[in-house]
Structure 1
Amino acid sequence: MTPTDLPDPKLLQLFDLLYDTRNVTRVAEQLGQSQPTISIWLGRLRKHLQDPLFIRTPGGMAPTPQADALIGPCREILESLRRFAAWEVAFDPLTALRRFRICMTDASHITLLPRLLAHLRAQAPGVKLEAARIDGNTERALESGEADLAIGYVPWLSGGIYQQQLYEQDWVCLANRQHPRIRARLGLKQYCAEGHVAIASGTGAQLLDQALVRNRIERVVVLELPGFLGLGAIIRSTDLITTLPRHIGETLAQANDLAVHACPIAVDGFAVRQHWHARYHHEAGNRWLRSQVTQLFGSTR
């Protein structure tokens, strides 16, 4: 591919905005162009990508499957261009116009993200935040700059990744405050007898599974959930119990008026850390973001 084969950045902006708005008139207004000009640009992009990209429907311009597949790469390119244009040795949070992408677990969406978002909006009003999953792609995303940070328990990250411990986690159990059989203390015998809600996801779930095997305990799992969504309401409205890392456990307990009990089996604790790639260790924006995370969550439970 020669440089002349590359799409004009303004066409990528058009694609991004049209994918969000599904409305040519609104895109024209946001780009400060006439509708005929936007139509010409869209035609060029369609020709370049050899796909209609958007089909006119009663509900607006609906994206084609090809458009759905390309919107992610398009936005990565635009974000890279924004960083290139705004590159500076220093980072001024008051004037910065930048999007930070942080990989985190769904537990962190509940425990960390609300506080982090509120803090960043106050300190850096032009900064936008995107939360992404921690998965097998996280290491590559940190290396490429597609992601700025990963926050959580991610022991499989390897060479080239810096890390900083934020806080340590142990394990607790949650139960309904009016549980018919559990009072002030949850003992091992009762833990084995009660019905449980198990969480299939979570980077620390393997530690709990290992502890159960080590102690030869087979829980009565009545319900298995893929994540923490709805867990608090389920525990509040049933006689089931659940075993969780302390931070997410105490957060759910406070939000749903649940009882927090010490876990009656020994489960290995773990440290929640923030991770970043060596390529961005000295980059001003990344350094600033890391400092904010440390300020908010460092050395807390």
Structure 2
Amino acid sequence: MVDRHLDAHLLDPRLLRLFDALFATGSVTKAAELLGQSQPTVSIWLARLRAELDDPLFVRTSAGMLPTPRAEALIGTVREALEALRRLIGIRTPFDPTVAHRRFSISMTDASHLTLLPAILAHVRHIAPGVRIEATQIGETTSEMLQSGESDLAIGYISGLETGHFEQTLFPQDWVCLANRDHPRVRGGLSKAQFIEEAHVLIRGGTGHRLLAEAFEALGITPNIALELPGFLGLPAIIGSTDLIVTLPRHIGETLAHFYGLRVLACPIAISGFAVKQYWHARFHHDPAIQWIRGVCATLFQQREVRGLEPAPLKSLPENS
């Protein structure tokens, strides 16, 4: 508990600097020059200092302003206090990834595990060999995890975060369809009529599921769902070995197509796009380590020029920023 009575008697740091300067120079004039103050101002400060410490402290002699025994007894404490204040001002040390040993926890979706995490890991292992990455799942507790520091960063699309979080847009997402490379009915592309007729795989949960459902409802479409999956595990094998199609955000769709030899098709229906962003809490906005990992993600994934401006709090940040 703070003792306000004691706080009222704490010395002004300017008086501590004057004490040190007078002890070092033995001259009010030289102390004023050292402090960048006028001599009358320094004389006023000295009077305050004497009153606060109830001692003359420095006495004028033919050899200059000499310290009293009390001043000599206090000079060590005064200099320790000044050094402590200097350390307090400069307490934030730069983060050096080349020698750092630390764990970063990044919350992300299953899709980001496949599309973003490999690039983050490759970059970090090259630049910061002592840094470890922990990937956690974006979910209902992500906001609290960012606030507590359990999660350093979240990457994806998160709506409804409370005030106190920051966000930065990385890249936009639209939609594609994936099919077996030898699918007999979509070699020339996928029409809207074909889209409605073909059998689909539906990935449940997340932003994609919600936006896809909203598009179906707006267009009055009842898709032919042959299979529902909770995530992307097994999806490439299913698409690659059947005539089913799946509709996915472009980044995950093109990534799966590249690695598993699937066909990417333009999505023939209108589905709302969204932006993949990185999120962090205001508590850690100025943390040098968190600034570094944010910079890594922006460097790797951001598709627009970064002008060195920090993103604004969520409540005032436009969605299309």
Does TM, scored on the shorter chain, surpass 0.5? yes
- What is the rounded CA distance, in whole Å, between the counterparts of 2:206 and 2:176 in structure 1? 15
Query: What code does the residue aligned with 1:101 have?
Result: S
Structure 1 residue runs of 4 or more that deviate by more than 6 Å after TM superposition: none
In structure 2, stretches of 5+ residues that fail to align are 1-90, 305-321
Could you tell me which residue of structure 2 aligns to residue 180 of structure 1?
184
Residue identity matched to 2:132:
K
Deviation at 1:269, TM superposition (A): 0.2
Q: Secondary structure at the match of 1:289?
A: helix
User: Is contact 1:196–1:241 with CA below 8 Å preserved after alignment?
Assistant: yes
- The partner residue of 2:194 within 175, 185, 190 is 190
1:159 is matched with which residue?
A: 163
Match of 2:272 in 1: 268
Q: Indicate the residue corresponding to 1:210 in structure 2.
A: 214
Provide the residue aligned with 2:145 in structure 1.
141
| Residue of structure 2 aligned with 1:251, choices 228, 252, 255 | 255
Does structure 1 residue 241 correspond to structure 2 residue 245? yes
User: Which of residues 156, 159, 173 in structure 2 aligns to 1:169?
Assistant: 173
Show CA shifts across 1:118-162 (max 9, x none).
110111110000000100100000001110000001112121110
Cα deviation digits, residues 47-70 of structure 1 (max 9, x gap): xxxxxxxxxxxxxxxxxxxxxxxx
CA displacement, residues 222-264 of structure 1 (integer Å, 9 cap, x when unaligned): 1100001111111010000000000000000111111111111
Q: Secondary structure at the match of 2:111?
A: helix
The answer to whether 1:223 aligns with 2:227 is yes
Take 2:160 and 2:237, find their aligned partners in 1: how far apart are those partners? 33
Aligned to 2:94: 90
Alignment of 1:32-111 (within 5 A): 89-111=93-115
CA–CA distance in structure 2, aligned partners of residues 153 and 204 of structure 1 = 10
1:278-293 to 2 correspondence within 5 Å?
Answer: 278-293=282-297
Distance 1:203 1:267 in 2: 12
Amino acid corresponding to residue 121 of structure 2 in structure 1: L
Output one character per residue of 1:51-105: Cα deviation in whole Å (capped at 9) or x when no partner: xxxxxxxxxxxxxxxxxxxxxxxxxxxxxxxxxxxx9521000111100000000
TM-score with structure 1 setting the length: 0.70
Residue aligned with 1:288, SS: helix
1:192 Cα offset (Å):
0.7
* Residue 112 (1) aligns with residue 116 (2): yes
After superposition, residues 10-49 of structure 1 pair within 5 angstroms as none
Larger Rg, first or second structure (1 or 2): 2
Separation (CA, whole Å) in 1 of partners of 2:147 and 2:199: 43
Which letter maps to 1:90? P
* Amino acid across the alignment from 2:155: I
Q: Which amino acid aligns with 2:179?
A: A
For the residues of structure 2 that align with 1:254 and 1:158, how far apart are their CA atoms?
37
The match for 1:127 is 131
Deviation larger for 167-176 or 202-211: 202-211
CA-CA distance at 1:188 after TM superposition: 0.7
Please say if residues 165 and 274 of structure 1, whose CA atoms lie closer than 8 Å, have aligned partners that are also in contact. Answer: yes
Q: Secondary structure at the match of 1:227?
A: coil
| Amino acid in the other structure paired with 1:98 | R
What is the total number of aligned residue pairs between the two structures? Answer: 214
The AA in structure 2 aligned to 1:174 is L
Counterpart residue number, 2:319? none
Distance in structure 1 (CA, Å) of the matches to 2:208 and 2:227: 19
> Match for residue 38 of structure 1?
none
